[in-house]
Chains A and B, each alone.
Chain A
């Protein structure tokens, strides 16, 4: 029984230690600014096309689903409100985070895992560089700054997708009503929730990817295993954290 619990507890302990060291490094020299920008490009700009695509269709599908339900109550004019609340509070942050987890937690884990098994991380330490500072902190900073921005893009594009379905395609409401109900329905809490979630998710995605990467063992097979574990663990924690954060706000 204790052996079964030991592994996840040790992993969680390693996660906390890594989080502490990576966060502390943000304010200590040397700063690897070039690495941060490079990671921002990979994580942020690289994820932008797929974020736009997913954001658009999630908003469009939401409007489609809602059209049927709302028409039963003669409330099709509220489609903008429902799309906005659903996207900003939940769908935008979670879908974007899952997307970035699939794309970047795996990328980070496989990159760092390959470096580990080819002794590049040992070489880095031997040559006087702290791998946490050089590899983990830039990825953490980049993910934490890019994921909220990607979420904002996904939310906006999702609203545009909802608009295209609700107004030109199905004529559920007018253009001005769609945008005004969408805008007015959003409370301060919704915006805070919608931006806090991606920040927490970014922390999870970057650190889980890095943790599974730098503790990789077992050659190329181990790299594959670390990649899969990183995506699965990050995704599970995204759902757990979205529940916990939502619970605070509801």
Chain B
């Protein structure tokens, strides 16, 4: 279903999406968002602004009260759970706390999408799992359980699991929340690498402006195996946009410089973080 060609087709489109629980106040209010192949969206906002809910809607874990959701050009708004299983196989998601299964080893966790969706045997999946874990520098943790790993390590395992089936769309829910700055920067470096290596469309929820700054300004050089600054005229820079949410609404969407230039006190809070750190 996903188009991996050079043409920038629509990957995720939300059209006037609203969501409320039990008729209470709206958790999402008339949200519209359009992401095309290779795009990166950094979604910023205070706690309770509706960021995670938006990603869960994009993944079909919640159904909108009104509005339409398109994934890979298909209207998925009224998809049944069974139809969603096929669509979700093209999406990788990193949950806030990693979302790793407690009862499975790290190897089984990372192999889960391959065994479950591609019906590979654990032996067939093993080389790719080992490679994915090596990518996040956790090749030595195959037989460990999630409870034996630190928060940052669990997040890295989550990144390995999200990307192992080569999804066309990667969603990261607060990948750096609660982590120390060094670990947080390492996680962001991995996400940049993942974006470059898979040429995937990515949406990243974050409370930290720095995370967006890394995504907007750096790319992974596979030859030097390091992050390097993106040239000013690179299309990658243009495809990285910031979204700021407040009380269930998108109150800003634009480039990093536009975010910096914003005079709105709420929006400026997220840009000012850069100078604070």
- CB A46 to nearest CB in B, in angstroms, measures 16
A:98-122 near B, CB below 8 Å: 114-115, 118-120, 122
B91, B95, B113: the one contacting A122 at CB < 8 Å is B95
User: Is B117 a contact partner of A126 (Cβ separation < 8 A)?
Assistant: no
Determine whether B14 belongs to the interface, using a CB cutoff of 8 Å to chain A. no
Q: Verify if B47 is at the interface (C-beta below 8 Å from A).
A: no
Residues of B within 8 A of A119 (CB): 95-97, 99
Residues from chain A with a CB closer than 8 A to the CB of B132 are none
Q: Are B91 and A126 in contact (CB under 8 A)?
A: yes
By beta carbon, the residue of chain A nearest B56 is: A122
Across the interface, do B85 and A128 meet the contact criterion of CB distance under 8 Å? yes
Query: Can you list, as one digit per residue, whether each of B145-188 has a CB less than 8 Å from chain A (1) or not (0)?
Result: 00000000000000001000000000000000000000000000
Interface size class, chain A: 10 to 19
Which residues on A sit within 8 Å (CB–CB) of B60?
A: 125
CB pair A122–B61 under 8 Å, yes or no, is yes
Closest to B112 in A: A127
B116 at the binding interface (Cβ < 8 Å): yes
Residue among A114, A120, A123, A127 facing the most chain B CB atoms (10 A cut-off): A127
> Contact between B89 and A120 (Cβ–Cβ < 8 Å)?
no
By the criterion CB–CB under 8 Å, are B93 and A123 in contact? yes
Interface 1/0s, chain B 73-84, versus A by CB < 8 A? Answer: 000000001001
Q: Are A123 and B95 in contact (CB under 8 A)?
A: yes
Kindly identify, within residues 39 to 65 of chain B, every residue whose CB is under 8 Å from any CB belonging to chain A. 56, 59-61
Bound Cα distance from A128 to B88, whole angstroms: 7
With A120-B99, A120-B101, A120-B102 known as contacts, the answer to whether A126 contacts B59 (CB < 8 A) is yes
Interface check A130, CB cutoff 8 A:
yes
CB distance from B48 to the nearest CB of A (A): 14
| Also in contact, A123 and B99, with CB within 8 A (given A128-B85, A128-B88) | yes
Once the chains bind, are A118 and B97 in contact (CB under 8 Å)?
A: yes
Is B244 engaged at the interface, CB distance under 8 Å to the other chain?
A: no
Give every chain B residue within 8 A of A114 (Cβ-Cβ).
102
How far is A128 from B117 in the complex, measured between Cα atoms in Å?
7
| Complex contacts, A128 vs chain B, CB 8 Å | 85, 88-89, 113, 116-117
Given the complex of chains A and B, what is the CA–CA distance between A174 and B181 in angstroms?
80
The verdict on B35 contacting chain A, using a C-beta distance below 8 Å, is no
In the complex, chain B residues whose CB is within 8 Å of the CB of A123 = 93, 95, 99-101
A120 to B97, CA, bound (A): 9
Q: Per-position contact with A for B232-245: 1 when CB-CB < 8 Å, else 0?
A: 00000000000000
The answer to whether A13 has its CB under 8 Å from any CB of chain B is no
In the bound complex, residues from chain A placing their C-beta under 8 Å from that of B84 are 125
CA of A82 to CA of B77 in the docked complex: distance in angstroms?
62
Q: Is A65 an interface position by the 8 A CB rule?
A: no
A129 at the interface (CB under 8 A from B): yes
For A10, the closest partner residue in chain B by CB is B22
Within the assembled complex, what's the spacing in Å between the Cα atoms of A118 and B102?
A: 10
A54 CB, nearest partner CB in chain B, Å: 29
Q: A119-B95, A119-B96 are in contact. Are A126 and B102 (CB under 8 A)?
A: no
Residues on A with beta carbons closer than 8 Å to the beta carbon of B88: 125-128
Q: How many whole Å from B77's CB to the nearest CB in chain A? A: 17
Of B56, B81, B97, B113, which contacts A127 at CB under 8 A?
B113
| A127→B95 CA distance, assembly (Å) | 12
How distant is the Cα of A120 from the Cα of B98 in the complex, in angstroms?
9
Give min CB distance, A55 to chain B, whole Å.
Answer: 31
Least distance between B221 CB and chain A CB atoms (Å): 31
A125–B113 CB distance below 8 A? no
Q: Please report the C-alpha to C-alpha distance between residue A248 and residue B60 in the assembled complex, in whole angstroms.
A: 45
A122 pairs with B116, CB closer than 8 A: no
Closest partner residue, chain B, to A134 (CB atom): B116
Closest CB of chain B to A117's CB: distance in Å? 9
Taking CB atoms, residues of chain B closer than 8 Å to A130 are 81, 85
- Chain A: minimal CB distance from B262 (Å): 32
> Which of these, A115, A125, A129, contacts B61 with CB under 8 Å?
A125
The smallest C-beta distance from A195 to any residue of chain B, in angstroms, reads 32
A122 to B113, CA, bound (A): 14
Residue A126 contacts which of B61, B96, B97 (CB distance < 8 angstroms)? B61
- The smallest C-beta distance from A211 to any residue of chain B, in angstroms, reads 17
9 intermolecular pairs with C-beta atoms under 8 Å apart? A114-B102, A119-B96, A123-B101, A125-B60, A125-B61, A127-B88, A127-B117, A127-B161, A130-B81
Known: A115-B102, A125-B61. 16 other contacts (CB 8 A): A118-B99, A119-B97, A120-B100, A120-B101, A120-B102, A122-B95, A123-B93, A125-B60, A126-B61, A126-B99, A127-B88, A127-B113, A128-B113, A129-B116, A130-B81, A130-B85
Residue ranges of B at the interface with A (Cβ–Cβ < 8 Å): 56, 59-61, 81, 84-85, 88-89, 91, 93, 95-97, 99-102, 112-113, 116-117, 161
